[in-house]
Amino acid sequence: MKIRSLLCAVLCLFSAPSFCKALDVGAPAPDLSALDQDGKTVQFKDVYAKGPTLVYFYPKADTPGCTKQACSLRDDWSTLKAKGVQVLGVSGDKPESQKKFVDKFTLPFTLIADSDSKVADAFGVPHLGPITKRQSFLIKDGKVVWTMPKASTDSHAKDVLAALEQLSK
């Protein structure tokens, strides 16, 4: 890991969160690719093209807070889908761990294996190695339209739906 990335990770996670800069509302959505839970390449721009896209970062698959967050989205999946929302959950886990997480909790959306942290870096999400900060971005028409720097666990889906409601006004 480069010294600057390591320094940024340490400062962002533990001492000075303002040191790292996550994407702001209005920023272009990162155009990149990464592996999903099945080891298949996902082109982010192809997902964005299907409609509003929630890209949410979580520290580690199958841990208590991350499970609550994923299950919140799963439990409101029909409402999210009715609004046309695509979901990409991102963590530093390997595809095999993501697959076990999807299968264990019957998650109906794609999980991205960001073991090299390139997705976290593109979004400006602080991370220490494979452990990322919990943070969310809503992408629409190729731009960031909403961010949640401290994404919730229990009510994540409701927070996203409320943001969509506000954006439609």
pLDDT in tens, 111-137: 999 999 999 999 999 999 899 999 999
Phi, psi of 45, deg, nearest 5: -60, -30
Task: Express each pLDDT in 28-79 by its tens digit.
Answer: 999 999 999 999 999 999 999 999 999 999 999 999 999 999 999 999 999 9
C-alpha 136/C-alpha 142 separation (Å) is: 15
Enzyme catalytic residues = 66
Task: Express each pLDDT in 68-113 by its tens digit.
Answer: 999 999 999 999 999 999 999 999 999 999 999 999 999 999 999 9
- Which residue(s) pair with 136 in the sheet? 56, 148
User: Which burial class, exposed, middle or buried, applies to 132 when counting CB atoms under 10 A from its CB (0-12, 13-18, 19+)?
Assistant: buried
What the chain holds in terms of domains, given with CATH numbers, is: 21-167 (3.40.30.10)
User: 144 CB contacts (<8 Å, ≥6 apart)?
Assistant: 23, 24, 25, 26, 27, 28, 29, 137, 138
Residue type, 9: A
> 0.85 cut: is pTM over it?
yes
